[in-house]
Amino acid sequence: MEFSARRISFLLLFTILLYTLIGLSPLSVFSEELSSETELELVNDDNGSATTTGLSLSNQPSGDTYKRESLINDNVYRDFVVGPGKFEVELSPGESTTVALNVSNRMGETKRFRLEFEDVAGSESGEQSVMLLGDQRGPYTLKDYLEIPYMEFDLEHAKKAIIPVTITLPADAEPGGHYGTVVISTVTQKGSEGDETVAPSTPIVSRIGALFFIKSPGEELADGSLKEFSTKGNQTVFTKPNIDFTLVYENTGSVHLNPYGEMRVFNMIGDEVGYQELTPWFALPDSVRLREFTWSRDFLIGRYTAKAYINRGYDDIVDEASIVFWVLPWKLLSVGFLVLFTILFLLRYIFTRFEFKRK
């Protein structure tokens, strides 16, 4: 009995020691750490936004995690598409919002894309709609207020990446407009396709920019007007019924404007013979914006008057301007002249060859 009691006590002591060792094993410690990490992965701060902790970042996947979607078809066009081309957002100082920018790869192979932020400005001549400022800071800077999770990513052919772009205006942001762009680029080596012995030549860098127009409410100056309405090159006589027109709009305010309007064409007796809708286009602050468009009609001949009615894009103010031009189609005039010459020749021939007498 004494031996059995000692044996039982030894077994009990061994069992307690074994459970103690199991409780302190590395496997148990790892499980507790994993459980704690899972709870700390997303922590909501006081304003309700999600913030990742330092502990959870250790298990983040490498590379980007942009959402992908398949394109409608997998045709190869050797290009990529970015859209939308322009975002217009109104934000108060201290506010933030996120918009979706889409990049579609139609280049026939997986490509690496790079994203950059740049400020933009308008043109003084009107020949360019916007000018990219590179590393320079623009007068209405925005590039420091943009944020994207990953500045580079790989995208397969026939796939579309959806990129969240967050815009945050600082609390001390000035009222008015802030203008910038997200530039998407990819590099392609130019060489002889299918010939491995030919080394690639100078790389071709393709860049597409998506414009961001952010307006902050407050004391702002909206001021702009139509400066010029003319035919392209101030041409007054046309031989074909395709007329190229030019509009020059100047924005002298502190916010971008979206002028729009219409053009009507009248003939020599005042009847309306043509109409052209002019959809809104943008003009950045302190800049000139040139817009060209073409109006045509199947049959035009003679003198015409074109009248433009341009809404400035604020306060419903409309500017009016008119020009006069001529359409003289040389082919039609040549045929008419030939017919008239033939008729006159026949009349002359008849009167010189025949004598008409009264009975």
CATH classification of the domain holding 136: 2.60.40.10
- Are residues 211 and 236 part of one domain? no
Strands (E) in 91-175, as ranges, are 96-106, 111-121, 131-132, 146-147, 152-155, 159-168
CA-based torsion, 246, 251, 255, 261: positive or negative: negative
Number of Cβ within 10 Å of residue 102's Cβ equals 14
- Are residues 135 and 80 part of one domain? yes
CA angle 20, 25, 26 (to 5 degrees): 165
CATH classification of the domain holding 327: 2.60.40.3880
**Amino acid found at 334:** S
**Amino acid found at 56:** S
- Are residues 206 and 85 part of one domain? yes
- Are residues 71 and 211 part of one domain? yes
What is the rounded CA–CA span in Å between residue 213 and residue 231?
Answer: 31
- Are residues 152 and 237 part of one domain? no
Q: Which domain holds residue 101?
A: 67-190+202-216
The reported pLDDT for the residue numbered 187 is 75
Q: Decide if 43 contacts 53 (C-beta within 8 A).
A: yes
Residue 293 belongs to some domain of the structure = yes
Please tell me the total count of domains within the chain. Answer: 2
What is the rounded CA–CA span in Å between residue 147 and residue 49?
Answer: 16
The reported pLDDT for the residue numbered 51 is 26
Residue 33 belongs to some domain of the structure = no
The reported pLDDT for the residue numbered 99 is 97
Residue 171 belongs to some domain of the structure = yes
**pTM for the model:** 0.71
Number of Cβ within 10 Å of residue 47's Cβ equals 5
Segment (H or E) for 91:
none
Dig out the tokens for 307 from the structure: 């009248």
Dig out the tokens for 144 from the structure: 């420091």
- Are residues 166 and 87 part of one domain? yes
The reported pLDDT for the residue numbered 47 is 33
- Are residues 208 and 288 part of one domain? no
What is the rounded CA–CA span in Å between residue 133 and residue 145?
Answer: 16
What is the rounded CA–CA span in Å between residue 313 and residue 331?
Answer: 43
What is the rounded CA–CA span in Å between residue 228 and residue 249?
Answer: 7
Residue 180 belongs to some domain of the structure = yes
Number of Cβ within 10 Å of residue 314's Cβ equals 14
Residue 115 belongs to some domain of the structure = yes
What is the rounded CA–CA span in Å between residue 319 and residue 228?
Answer: 10
The reported pLDDT for the residue numbered 298 is 85
pLDDT of the chain, 359 residues: tens digit per residue: 444 555 555 555 455 444 444 443 333 222 222 222 222 222 223 333 222 222 222 233 345 679 999 999 999 999 999 999 999 999 999 999 999 999 999 999 999 999 999 999 998 888 788 999 999 999 999 999 999 999 999 999 999 999 999 999 999 988 889 999 999 999 776 654 545 544 555 667 789 999 999 999 888 889 999 999 999 999 999 988 899 999 999 999 999 999 999 999 999 999 999 999 999 999 999 999 999 999 998 888 889 999 999 999 999 999 999 999 999 885 655 655 566 667 776 777 676 766 656 65
- Are residues 242 and 160 part of one domain? no
| Omega of the bond leading into 84 within 30 degrees of 0 (cis) | yes
- Are residues 177 and 72 part of one domain? yes
Q: What is the CA radius of gyration of the chain?
A: 36
- Are residues 212 and 146 part of one domain? yes
| Burial class (CB within 10 angstroms; exposed 0-12, middle 13-18, buried 19+) of 244 | middle
